[in-house]
C-alpha cells in the first residue's frame, strides 16, 4: 500500500510535465497575443473604436464578404484602393481563408465573425507548434530555441494580424509545416502543405521555391527514391491552380495580376517604389508607422545576412529571401510592407539563437519588451493610423 501511495505523486508529476510539454507552444503563443489584445483594447478605447471593428478592418472586410457571398455575391460596400467597387476585384483574394470561415460558420450558434476569428486563432496555434518544431529541426536547435522562436513570431512587428480576420495566420501555418517537412525530407507532406498554402496567399510562391529547389536537388542526387518527385509535382498545384482559375474567369492568363494592378496599383517593379518610399519617409518623418516600416525593411535585410552567417538551412534562407523579394520588390500599398514581411518568420532564427545563449532573466526581459512594443505598433496601425495596412 505504501508503495502505491508513493508512486502516485511521481505519476502525477510525470503527467504534469507531459501536459506542460505538450501545451507550451500554445501557451507561449496565446500569452504573447494576449498582451497584444490588452494593449489593443486600451488604444481602441482611446481612439473611439471597438476591438471587433479594429480586428475586422480593411482586408478583413473583403475576407468576410467572400466567406458570406463568395466571388459572385459579396457586398457592394467592398472598395479597392481607389474607393471603387468592382466585383472582379474579389479575385485578388485567395479562397482558403474565406472557405474555412464559411465552413465553420455553418456550425449552429457560430456567427461569420466568430468563425473567422476561430480560423485565425487555430491557425496561429498550429503555426506555433510548427515554429517550435522548426527550432528543434535546425542544426544546433533545441526545444528552448523553438519556444523562443514561437514567442518572437507571436511578437513580430505586425503580429496583430494573427488576431485579425486576415489570412496571414493560416498561410504561416501551412508554410511552416511545409518547411519542417522539407527539412525532415518528408516530401509528400511538404508538397501537400505547400499546395495548401497556395490556396491562401500568393506568398506561397516563396514556399514553392524552397520545397521545389530542395526536391530537385534530392532528385539530381538520387536521394529518397520517388518521394522528391511527389513533393516537387504537388507543391505548386494550389497556387498555379488558383491563378489558372482566375485566368479563366477574366479571360486572360495574367488575370490575377491585372486585378491586383487595377484595384491596388500593385505590381513588381524590382523595389524602385519601395526605395523611393523609404527616402521620402525618412526625409519627411511625417509618420511614425512609415519610418518604422523603413527600419523594419532594413532589419529584415540584415537578418538575411545573419541567417547566412549562422548557417541556417538553405531552404529556409531561400524561403525568407523569396518572401522579401515579393514584398520589397513590389509597389502598391507601402503601408503594408511590415505586414507582408510577417511570413518571413524564418529570419528570426538568428535572433532566437542569440537569445537562448543568454541568461533566463535576459530572455524573459527581451521577450516581454518585444511583445509590448509589437502590441503597441500593431494596435497603433489599426486604431490610430487612418489608412490600410
pLDDT at 1: 42
- Convert the pLDDT of each residue in 201-230 to its tens digit: 999 999 999 999 999 999 999 999 999 999
CB 341 within 8 A of CB 324: yes
What cell was used for 79? 472598395
- 8 A C-beta contact, residue 318 and residue 210: yes
Q: What is the secondary structure of 302-331 as a DSSP string?
A: HHHHHHHHTT--HHHHHHHHHHHHHHHTB-
For residue range 26-83, what is the model confidence (pLDDT) as tens digits? 999 999 999 999 999 999 999 999 999 999 998 999 999 999 988 887 666 676 666 6
Residue 8: CB atoms within 10 A of its CB come to: 9
Which pLDDT score, from 0 to 100, does residue 184 have? Answer: 96
Instruction: Tell me the C-alpha distance between 245 and 240, whole Å.
Output: 9
Report whether 215 contacts 232 (CB < 8 A). yes
Other CB atoms closer than 10 Å to residue 279's CB: what's the count?
11
| pLDDT tens digits, one per residue of 9-28 | 677 777 888 988 999 999 99
CA distance 131 to 145: 10
369 pLDDT band, cuts 50/70/90, is: very high
This prediction's pTM: 0.94
Written as nine digits, the cell of 329 is: 520588390
Measuring CA to CA, how many Å separate 89 from each of 57, 74, 118, 198? Answer: 17, 11, 26, 19
Q: All 3 cell numbers of residue 55?
A: 480586428
In the chain, where are the structural domains located? Answer: 26-383
Compute the distance between CA of residue 120 and CA of residue 118 in angstroms, rounded to an integer.
Answer: 5
Please report where in the chains the cell 541568461 appears, as a residue. Answer: 359
Residue 180 has pLDDT above 50, yes or no: yes
Three-class SS state of 268: strand
- The pLDDT, as a whole number, for residue 17 is 86
Q: 151: exposed, middle or buried (C-beta count within 10 Å: 0-12, 13-18, 19+)?
A: buried
* 131 CB neighbour count, 10 Å cutoff: 34
Structure-block grid coordinates of residue 224: 529518397
Q: Which residues pair with 268 in a beta bridge?
A: 330
User: 381: Cβ–Cβ under 8 A, 6 or more apart, which residues?
Assistant: 158, 160, 289, 338, 389
Residue owning grid cell 518585444: 370
Give the integer Cα–Cα distance in Å for 219 and 228: 6
Cα gap 367→338, rounded to integer Å: 19
SS3 219: helix
**Which of 3-7, 35-39, 88-92, 378-382 is least confident?**
3-7
Amino acid at each position: 500500500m505504501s508503495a502505491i501511495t508513493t508512486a502516485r505523486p511521481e505519476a502525477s508529476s510525470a503527467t504534469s510535465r507531459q501536459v506542460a510539454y505538450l501545451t507550451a507552444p500554445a501557451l507561449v503563443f496565446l500569452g504573447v497575443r494576449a498582451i497584444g489584445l490588452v494593449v489593443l483594447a486600451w488604444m481602441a478605447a482611446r481612439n473611439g473604436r471597438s476591438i471587433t471593428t479594429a480586428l475586422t478592418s480593411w482586408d478583413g472586410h473583403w475576407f468576410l464578404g467572400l466567406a458570406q457571398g463568395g466571388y459572385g455575391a459579396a457586398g457592394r460596400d467592398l472598395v479597392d484602393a481607389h474607393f471603387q467597387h468592382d466585383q472582379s476585384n474579389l479575385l485578388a483574394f485567395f479562397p482558403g481563408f474565406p472557405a474555412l470561415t464559411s465552413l465553420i460558420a455553418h456550425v449552429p450558434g457560430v456567427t461569420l465573425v466568430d468563425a473567422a476569428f476561430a480560423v485565425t486563432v487555430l491557425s496561429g496555434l498550429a503555426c506555433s507548434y510548427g515554429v517550435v518544431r522548426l527550432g528543434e529541426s535546425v542544426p544546433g536547435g533545441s526545444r528552448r530555441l523553438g519556444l523562443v522562436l514561437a514567442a518572437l513570431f507571436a511578437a513580430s512587428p505586425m503580429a496583430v494580424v494573427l488576431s485579425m480576420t486576415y489570412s496571414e495566420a493560416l498561410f504561416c501555418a501551412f508554410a511552416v509545416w511545409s518547411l519542417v517537412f522539407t527539412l525532415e525530407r518528408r516530401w509528400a507532406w511538404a508538397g501537400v502543405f505547400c499546395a495548401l498554402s497556395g490556396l491562401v496567399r500568393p506568398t506561397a510562391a516563396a514556399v514553392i521555391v524552397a520545397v521545389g529547389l530542395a526536391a530537385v536537388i534530392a532528385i539530381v542526387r538520387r536521394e529518397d527514391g520517388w518521394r522528391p518527385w511527389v513533393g516537387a509535382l504537388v507543391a505548386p498545384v494550389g497556387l498555379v491552380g488558383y491563378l489558372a482559375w482566375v485566368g479563366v474567369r477574366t479571360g486572360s492568363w495574367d488575370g490575377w495580376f491585372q486585378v491586383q494592378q487595377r484595384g491596388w496599383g500593385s505590381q513588381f517593379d524590382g523595389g524602385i517604389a519601395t526605395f523611393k518610399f523609404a527616402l521620402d519617409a525618412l526625409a519627411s518623418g511625417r509618420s511614425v508607422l512609415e519610418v518604422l516600416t523603413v527600419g523594419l525593411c532594413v532589419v529584415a535585410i540584415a537578418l538575411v545576412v545573419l541567417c547566412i552567417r549562422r548557417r541556417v538551412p538553405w531552404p529556409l534562407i531561400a524561403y525568407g529571401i523569396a518572401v522579401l523579394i515579393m514584398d520589397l520588390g513590389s509597389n502598391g500599398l507601402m503601408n503594408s510592407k511590415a505586414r507582408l514581411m510577417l511570413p518571413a518568420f524564418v529570419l528570426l532564427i538568428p535572433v532566437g539563437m542569440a537569445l537562448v545563449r543568454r541568461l533566463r532573466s535576459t530572455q524573459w526581459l527581451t521577450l516581454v519588451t518585444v511583445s509590448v512594443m509589437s502590441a503597441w505598433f500593431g494596435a497603433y496601425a489599426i486604431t490610430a493610423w487612418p489608412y490600410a495596412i
